[in-house]
Amino acid sequence: MTKASVGPRLIRPTWAEIDVNAFRHNLAAVADHLPRRVKIMAVLKADGYGHGASPLAKAASVLGNRLWGFGVSSVEEGVALREAGLKEKILVLGSLFPFDSFDTVLDHHLIPTVASRASASALVQRAQRRGRPAPCHLKIDTGMGRIGMSPEAFASFPKNPWLQVDGIYTHLACADSASVTAHQLKLFNQTIKGFEKRGESPHVGNSGGVLARPASHYSLVRPGLVLYGIVPWPALGRTIDLRPVLSWKTRVVFLKTVPKGTPLSYGWTWRTRRRSRIATLPVGYADGYRRDLSNKGQVLVKGRRCPVVGRVTMDQILVDVSGLTGVEVGEEVVLLGRQGRDQVRAEEMADWAKTISYEILCGISKRVPRVLT
297 in any annotated domain: yes
Report the number of distinct structural domains present in the chain.
2
Cis upstream peptide for 282 (omega within 30°): no
Q: Is 354 in the active site?
A: no
Same domain, yes or no: 43 and 192: yes
Q: Which candidate in 193, 260, 266, 366 is catalytic?
A: 266
Residue 14 in domain: no
Longest dimension (CA), the chain: 77
In angstroms, rounded to a whole number, what is the distance separating the alpha carbons of residues 114 and 136?
7
| 218 is annotated as an active-site residue | no
The one-digit pLDDT tens for each residue of the chain (373 residues) are: 445 676 666 789 999 999 999 999 999 999 999 999 999 999 999 999 999 999 999 999 999 999 999 999 999 999 999 999 999 999 999 988 888 899 999 999 999 999 999 999 999 999 999 999 999 999 999 999 999 999 999 988 888 999 999 999 999 999 999 999 999 999 999 999 877 666 678 999 999 999 999 999 999 999 999 999 999 998 887 889 999 999 999 999 999 999 999 999 999 999 999 999 999 999 999 999 999 999 999 999 999 999 999 999 999 999 999 999 999 999 999 999 999 999 999 999 999 999 999 999 999 999 999 999 9
Residues 271 and 198 in one domain: no
Q: Find the catalytic residue in 45, 169, 289, 358.
A: 45
- Find the domain containing 294 and state its range: 246-372
pTM of the model: 0.93
Q: Based on the domain organization, do 105 and 146 belong to the same domain?
A: yes
CATH number at residue 219: 3.20.20.10
159 and 65 in one domain? yes
Helices marked H in the chain:
20-33, 45-49, 53-59, 75-83, 101-107, 117-130, 151-155, 178-192, 207-212, 346-353, 357-362
